[in-house]
């Protein structure tokens, strides 16, 4: 199997295990990591030995703490749109994958991290996991599908609240909202995820493929929303709010948004 710079990929029995491996940066997704995720998930489309995909983060603290703010802090609107479209394309490969994709959330799932988890078919989390779409605190909208998939998963009212407040929620609240399917103790998380995956892999791969396609097709009417998200995400990069939000993060101070 190909070796990568920022992810670890291993075929264990019939499951493709992908681990995002930038623990010092809390597994933040830079462009290269997203490209590598694309290459890794492509394998699940073509390799008949693979019956399911398990996606997790390395270390004990984070699944993924978001898109890499250090990488995009100086982007302009056009670059923002390109970044967003790149993430959309590859996250969709997790959503459309003909084999079950399971996000194993072992800590922070923030911004692009939560968006990546939401692009998977099923989510399980450790009881110390934390979830948010904090982009508004940076002066930007979610850019990897969060405005669409959060609504699909938990409904408009609660999604609006979380998207507009950027508030972080705990694993028990994520479970209550249906954002994750199960919560386990950190020590049990991986084994319990594997047990769940085994329930899928013993079923007919042809039927599973059909289920995934049919369920995803239910949401095709929302495709315009994804396009709007790319547009709005890019537009934010040309704003003073975005400069203030990202600078405040990098300087570890609170943002004071000028509102333009």
Residue in 91, 108, 226, 242 binding ligand CAA, rule: CB under 6 A: 108
Using rule CB under 6 A, residue 109 touches ligand CAA: no
Using rule CB under 6 A, residue 229 touches ligand CAA: no
Are the C-beta atoms of residues 171 and 127 closer than 8 Å to each other? yes
Please state, in angstroms and rounded to a whole number, the distance separating the CA atoms of residues 161 and 209.
34
Degrees to nearest 5, angle at CA 65 with 61 and 67: 155
Q: What is the Cβ-side half-sphere exposure of residue 258, based on CA atoms within 13 angstroms?
A: 8
Are the C-beta atoms of residues 103 and 124 closer than 8 Å to each other? yes
Q: Minimum distance between the CB of residue 223 and ligand CAA, rounded to whole angstroms?
A: 18
Q: Minimum distance between the CB of residue 83 and ligand CAA, rounded to whole angstroms?
A: 7
Please state, in angstroms and rounded to a whole number, the distance separating the CA atoms of residues 243 and 143.
16
Q: Which stretch binds ligand CAA (CB under 6 A): 3-11, 12-20, 67-75, 189-197?
A: 67-75
Write the DSSP symbol of residue 67. Answer: B
Using rule CB under 6 A, residue 139 touches ligand CAA: no
47: CB partners within 8 A, 6+ apart: 11, 16
Long-range contacts of 45-48 (CB under 8 A, 24+ apart): 45/93, 45/97, 45/98, 47/11, 47/16
Using rule CB under 6 A, residue 134 touches ligand CAA: yes
Please state, in angstroms and rounded to a whole number, the distance separating the CA atoms of residues 87 and 143.
8
Q: Which stretch binds ligand CAA (CB under 6 A): 131-139, 177-185, 198-206, 208-216?
A: 131-139
Q: Minimum distance between the CB of residue 135 and ligand CAA, rounded to whole angstroms?
A: 5
Using rule CB under 6 A, residue 195 touches ligand CAA: no
Task: Build a one-symbol-per-residue string for 77-106: x at contacts with ligand CAA by CB under 6 A, - elsewhere.
Answer: ----------x-------------------
C-alpha distances (whole Å) from 82 to each of 51, 72, 89, 246 are: 32, 11, 11, 18
Which CB sits closer to ligand CAA, 57 or 134?
134
Residue in 36, 68, 229, 241 binding ligand CAA, rule: CB under 6 A: 68
Using rule CB under 6 A, residue 69 touches ligand CAA: yes
Please state, in angstroms and rounded to a whole number, the distance separating the CA atoms of residues 49 and 64.
27
Total of residues contacting ligand CAA (CB under 6 A): 22
Q: Segment 24-63, which members bind ligand CAA (CB under 6 A)?
A: 25-26, 28
Using rule CB under 6 A, residue 66 touches ligand CAA: yes
Write the DSSP symbol of residue 185. Answer: -
Q: Minimum distance between the CB of residue 217 and ligand CAA, rounded to whole angstroms?
A: 25
The token pair that represents 193 in the structure block: 């995820």
Which CB sits closer to ligand CAA, 15 or 147?
147
Residues that bind ligand CAA (CB under 6 A): 25-26, 28, 65-70, 87, 108, 110-112, 115, 134-135, 138, 142-144, 146
């Amino acid at each position: 199997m190909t070796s990568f710079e920022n992810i670890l990929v291993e075929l264990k029995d019939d499951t493709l295990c992908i681990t995002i491996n930038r623990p010092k940066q809390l597994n933040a997704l830079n462009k290269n990591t997203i490209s590598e995720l694309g290459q890794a998930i492509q394998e699940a489309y073509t390799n008949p030995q693979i019956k399911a995909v398990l996606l997790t983060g390395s270390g004990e603290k984070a699944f993924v703490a978001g898109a890499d703010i250090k990488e995009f802090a100086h982007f302009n609107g056009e670059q923002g749109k390109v970044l967003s479209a790149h993430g959309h394309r590859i996250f969709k490969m997790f959503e459309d994958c003909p084999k079950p994709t399971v996000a194993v959330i072992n800590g922070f799932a923030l911004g692009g991290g939560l968006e990546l988890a939401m692009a998977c078919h099923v989510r399980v989390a450790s009881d110390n996991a934390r979830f948010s779409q904090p982009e508004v605190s940076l002066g930007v909208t979610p850019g990897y599908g969060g405005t669409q998939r959060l609504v699909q998963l938990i409904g408009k009212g609660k999604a609006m609240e979380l998207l507009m407040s950027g508030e972080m929620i705990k694993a028990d609240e994520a479970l209550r909202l249906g954002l994750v399917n199960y919560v386990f103790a950190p020590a049990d998380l991986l084994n319990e995820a594997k047990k769940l995956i085994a329930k899928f892999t013993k079923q007919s791969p042809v039927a599973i493929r059909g289920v995934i396609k049919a369920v995803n097709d239910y949401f095709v009417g929302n495709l315009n929303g994804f396009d709007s998200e790319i547009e709005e995400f890019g537009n934010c990069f040309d704003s003073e709010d975005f400069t203030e939000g990202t600078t405040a993060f990098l300087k570890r101070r609170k943002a004071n948004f000028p509102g333009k």
